[in-house]
């Protein structure tokens, strides 16, 4: 889904992600965006067709990042659900620390997508969550994870990392590897048996 974009368009996408995070998608105008990248609103349309195009690119590019990571994790041994779960948590930490602003827009503003992009986004999200649930189910079946509703475990783990998008500042906070080292054992211990 990710495509090569011009440097100017990349600046526009980054500025839009910041504005969507700070003001919300609905409250951000094309004039706000043009001002953020020092362009006239009319010049902005040389690079993008609409505000929704930007939201589509942000949401679908981030969903694609999660899917590429999931595909790599599928290659890990199926009989090692703890290893797969740790890899999924690392994926969330890595994505959250690579592009905090864009991921915040992805998490909070996807509801503004129109069709067919909303359905495409939701299908990708459901596929990812379904894989996550299968990993949890496998660990529970093996007696490795505490018996619990898969959705409760899934959303507890994911929401336990959501604060990273607001807190993390590249170069000012812990390095992503240090976050992984501290967070993953804390989260995994909560669902392990014994």
Q: Specify the pLDDT at position 143.
A: 97
Q: Could you check whether the bond before residue 116 is cis, i.e. omega within 30 degrees of 0?
A: yes
Distance, in Å, from the CA atom of 8 to the CA atom of 40, rounded to the nearest integer, reads 13
Q: Is the pLDDT of residue 182 over 50?
A: yes
Q: Is the pLDDT of residue 170 over 90?
A: no
Q: Specify the pLDDT at position 5.
A: 63
Mean pLDDT confidence for 109-130: 96
Q: For residues 109-134, b (16+ Cβ closer than 10 Å) or e, as one string? A: bbebbeeebeebbeebeeebbebbee
The answer to whether 102 touches 62, Cβ cutoff 8 Å, is yes
Residue 21, classed as helix, strand or coil, is helix
* Integer-rounded Cα radius of gyration of the chain: 18
Q: Which of 9-13, 76-80, 81-85, 153-157 has the lowest mean pLDDT?
A: 9-13
Distance of CA 93 to the CA centre of its chain: 9
Give the dihedral sign, CA 28/32/34/35. negative
Mean pLDDT confidence for 170-179: 89
Size of the chain, expressed as the number of residues it contains = 194
Q: Per-residue pLDDT tens for 3-31?
A: 556 888 889 998 999 899 889 999 999 99
Q: Is the pLDDT of residue 147 over 50?
A: yes
Q: Is the pLDDT of residue 99 over 70?
A: yes
Give the dihedral sign, CA 97/103/4/121. positive
Q: Specify the pLDDT at position 172.
A: 86
Distance, in Å, from the CA atom of 162 to the CA atom of 93, rounded to the nearest integer, reads 9
Annotated domain spans of the chain: 59-189
Give one DSSP letter per residue of 121-164, joined into a string. Answer: HHHHHHHHHHHHHHHHHHHHHTTSBPP--HHHHHHHHHHHHHTH
Residue 192, classed as helix, strand or coil, is strand
The answer to whether 183 touches 159, Cβ cutoff 8 Å, is no
Confidence of residue 2 (pLDDT cuts 50, 70, 90): very low
Q: Specify the pLDDT at position 111.
A: 95
Q: Specify the pLDDT at position 1.
A: 44
Tell me which architecture the domain covering 59-189 has in CATH: Orthogonal Bundle (1.10)
Average pLDDT, whole number, for the chain? 92
Distance, in Å, from the CA atom of 92 to the CA atom of 132, rounded to the nearest integer, reads 12
The answer to whether 142 touches 81, Cβ cutoff 8 Å, is yes
More confident residue, 9 or 126: 126
Q: Per-residue pLDDT tens for 41-77?
A: 888 998 899 999 999 999 999 999 999 999 999 999 9
């Amino acid at each position: 889904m990710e495509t090569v974009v011009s440097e100017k368009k990349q600046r526009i996408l980054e500025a839009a992600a910041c504005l969507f995070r700070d003001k919300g998608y609905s409250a951000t105008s094309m004039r706000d965006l043009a001002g953020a990248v020092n362009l006239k609103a009319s010049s902005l349309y040389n690079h993008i067709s609409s505000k929704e195009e930007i939201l589509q690119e942000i949401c679908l590019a981030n969903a694609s990042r999660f899917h590429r990571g999931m595909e790599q994790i599928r290659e890990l041994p199926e009989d090692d659900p703890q290893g797969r779960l740790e890899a999924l948590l690392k994926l969330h930490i890595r994505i959250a620390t690579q592009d905090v602003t864009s991921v915040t827009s992805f998490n909070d503003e996807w509801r503004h997508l129109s069709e067919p992009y909303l359905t495409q986004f939701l299908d990708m999200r459901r596929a990812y969550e379904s894989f996550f649930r299968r990993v949890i189910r496998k660990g529970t079946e093996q007696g490795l994870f505490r018996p619990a509703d898969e959705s409760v475990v899934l959303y507890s783990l994911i929401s336990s990392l959501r604060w990273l998008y607001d807190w993390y500042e590249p170069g000012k906070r812990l390095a992503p590897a240090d976050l992984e080292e501290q967070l993953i054992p804390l989260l995994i211990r909560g669902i392990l048996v014994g």
